[in-house]
Amino acid sequence: MRGKPEVAKGWMRGKNRFPLKGLYILFPMVLLLCFYSAESVNISVEIYSDKPVKAVIFAPLNGNYVIQADGKTLDSCTAGSVFEISISDDSLILKTPGKVIGTYYAIRFHGCNERNQFNIRPLSAKVTRLYDDDLTITANGTGLKLINLVQLENYIAGVIECEAGRRKPPEYFKVQAIICRTYALSSLARHISDGFEMCDGVHCQVYRGAATTGTVIEAVEQTKGLVLVDQNSQLIVAAFHSNCGGYTLNSEDVWSTALPYLRSIKDTFCLNMPDAHWEKEFTNKEWNDYLKNREKQMKPDSIRREAYWDSVPNCKRIYLFDRGYTIPLKEIRADLDLNSTYFSIEKSSDKIKLNGRGFGHRVGLCQEGAMHMAQLGYNYRQILNFYYTDVQLIDYNMLPSSGFN
């Protein structure tokens, strides 16, 4: 653990030498219990990554947990046990109610049954969260670094519940499961220098713990291991957005790289969905002030936009003809907090009205279109092949980089 000694501080000081009674009797039993995880693929996710945590309550809910501290096994615990872990300087204090067990650098709660779940709550928070599988705790500067070592499929189910909600067609959850799995496996190096693989925020994929919805869990099981690859058997960048407004964009229309599977397509499935249309109004002064800030010298009254509505759905710039000056639509969207870059401009005597379509960057899979396709009876393979061009579904064990080939 980051070069720290393997022995607990408390033990070095000669205190808490036998922190839990029965340790040496339980130890062989503990080893016998821990044999289930032969085939599972685990990923490490930092949880509560967006807020500093000084102390947490940990309570097993399902399964059997072995408690390991600084590489040594202390005991095992099941539902009904409660622990508090807090930080003091750069060490962790492990307590049960009313009793200090010891002071350590690293603590791991390792699930030994087929299904292991725990509840966790920072002392400063009101809401308890439920997680699958293991938890490791170390000190992280001024707070606790909490890492959920979780089976990939459990993680995927948790992410889907955060990203897609609970009440969607089962076939849509399968689509999300495959996208989410593909994204996770292609992003494992994002936090390599931080000592874990994914964070639980929007930077990676929002993850707030175990899934509890049956249809989500079943969708993950029914697509277990499936990922999307391109013609070279490489994991794709499985981009998705809320609603494309009728056309998706080529990857190079928004980002710098042209990817053969992220091509613009016409999508009529999303046209009557909630995020299909939007409007935003500005007074002439607001609009002109904005344009003046972007191009100090130009004459704002002479602004027009090329009629790019359906004929060129992937246009990238708004055109200001008097000076040949253009502003990338992507920047206008960010500047004015617009739902998308797909809009027309309606000018009247006192205001500017933007009539827009879609929500998001519009590259890759359109979630509301996919949802409607699922409602109409399309299966997950048809949906994925509609939005991603020339892709294949394979088990990730077949990937050249999986270590199995």
Binding stretches for Zn ion (CB under 5 A): 199, 203-204, 244, 267, 270, 366, 369
Least distance in Å: CB of 333 to Zn ion?
Answer: 17
Calpha distance 399→41 (Å, rounded)? 14
Rank residues 93 and 179 by Cβ distance to Zn ion and give the closer one.
Answer: 179
Least distance in Å: CB of 239 to Zn ion?
Answer: 13
Least distance in Å: CB of 169 to Zn ion?
Answer: 16
Residues 37/84, Cβ–Cβ less than 8 Å = no
Least distance in Å: CB of 270 to Zn ion?
Answer: 3
Provide the token pair at 167. 């009440």
Rank residues 159 and 366 by Cβ distance to Zn ion and give the closer one.
Answer: 366
Least distance in Å: CB of 313 to Zn ion?
Answer: 11
Least distance in Å: CB of 242 to Zn ion?
Answer: 9
Least distance in Å: CB of 181 to Zn ion?
Answer: 17
One-letter amino acid of 60: P
Helix, strand, coil % over all residues of the chain, rounded to 5: 25, 30, 45
Residues 109/54, Cβ–Cβ less than 8 Å = no
Backbone angles phi, psi at 145, to 5 degrees: -100, 115
Calpha distance 389→251 (Å, rounded)? 12
Rank residues 166 and 203 by Cβ distance to Zn ion and give the closer one.
Answer: 203
Calpha distance 114→66 (Å, rounded)? 14
DSSP type of residue 269? T
Closest CA to 215 of 253, 176, 249: 176
Rank residues 70 and 275 by Cβ distance to Zn ion and give the closer one.
Answer: 275
Least distance in Å: CB of 16 to Zn ion?
Answer: 36
Q: Which residue has the tokens 């996208």?
A: 179
Rank residues 190 and 317 by Cβ distance to Zn ion and give the closer one.
Answer: 190
Q: Spell out where 225-340 has E strands.
A: 226-229, 240-241, 277-283, 317-320, 325-328
Rank residues 138 and 248 by Cβ distance to Zn ion and give the closer one.
Answer: 248
Question: Helix (H, G, I), strand (E, B), or coil: what is residue 44?
Answer: strand
Calpha distance 37→114 (Å, rounded)? 8
Rank residues 51 and 292 by Cβ distance to Zn ion and give the closer one.
Answer: 51
Report the sign of the C-alpha dihedral through residues 231, 235, 236, 238, in that order. Answer: positive
Question: Helix (H, G, I), strand (E, B), or coil: what is residue 339?
Answer: coil
Calpha distance 333→52 (Å, rounded)? 32
b/e for 261-279, b at 16 or more Cβ within 10 A? bbbbbebebbbebebbbbe
Closest CA to 23 of 57, 63, 60, 69: 69
Rank residues 101 and 160 by Cβ distance to Zn ion and give the closer one.
Answer: 160
Rank residues 96 and 268 by Cβ distance to Zn ion and give the closer one.
Answer: 268
Rank residues 46 and 70 by Cβ distance to Zn ion and give the closer one.
Answer: 46
Question: Helix (H, G, I), strand (E, B), or coil: what is residue 400?
Answer: coil
Least distance in Å: CB of 215 to Zn ion?
Answer: 23
Backbone angles phi, psi at 307, to 5 degrees: -80, 85
Tell me how many degrees the CA angle 57-211-193 measures, rounded to the nearest 5.
65
Rank residues 22 and 274 by Cβ distance to Zn ion and give the closer one.
Answer: 274
